[in-house]
Amino acid sequence: MVKILCDSCGKLKPPSDTRIGDYPWLLGYDIEIERANALQRSLRFLPRWDNARILELGSIHLCSDACKEKYIRKASAVA
């Protein structure tokens, strides 16, 4: 069993029985691409939660819109 934690606050996501659901949790991707002269970072968020994609490379898991905003602010500060 995979335990999902919010990448912003560390809250544990309760288990669900369906693959795709209308949960308050947000699934997205934080991808870094290194080029010869630059490092590009891209944040993308899916329109809904999808259990089949939670372990994909660069995936991020957030429990609320507030944690999403906090994550984006932190990512912007690093860039």
How confident is the model at residue 2, as a pLDDT? 85
pLDDT value, residue 18: 65
- For the chain, 79 residues long, give each residue's pLDDT as a single digit of tens: 789 999 999 999 988 766 666 668 999 999 988 888 888 889 999 998 888 999 999 999 999 999 999 999 998 877 6
- Region for residue 58 given its phi and psi (left: phi exceeds 0; alpha: psi -120 to 50; beta: otherwise): left
Q: How far apart are CA 14 and CA 47, in angstroms?
A: 19
Is 52:59 a contact under the CB 8 Å cutoff?
Answer: no
How far is residue 53's CA from residue 18's CA, in Å, rounded to a whole number? 13
